[in-house]
Amino acid sequence: MYIGPLPLFAWIGVVTLVLAVAQVLTGRHILKVNFRYHRVGGYLVVFLGIIHGLFGLGFLRLFQ
């Protein structure tokens, strides 16, 4: 399934990368956020990483 010029798993990968960079920046206290948001962001990175991996390995197929 394509959204714009890229397939869905590529968009999920981009979002995961941005969230991972934000996690590192908040963990090193470059970005000041509440710990609750840092923790929720970590859960999102793990969840989206698993979904991205399942798409990449072909275990999760949508609309095919």
Q: Is 10 left (phi over 0), alpha (psi -120 to 50) or beta?
A: alpha
Residue 64's pLDDT is what? 52
Question: What is d(CA 60, CA 38) in angstroms, rounded to the nearest whole number?
Answer: 28
State the pLDDT at residue 40: 95
Which residue ranges make up each domain of the chain? 2-57
> CA 25, CA 1: separation in Å to the nearest integer?
32
pTM exceeds 0.85, yes or no:
no
**pLDDT tens across 15-58, in order?**
999 999 999 999 999 999 999 999 999 999 999 999 988 888 88
pLDDT at site 60: 72
Confidence of residue 62 (pLDDT cuts 50, 70, 90): low
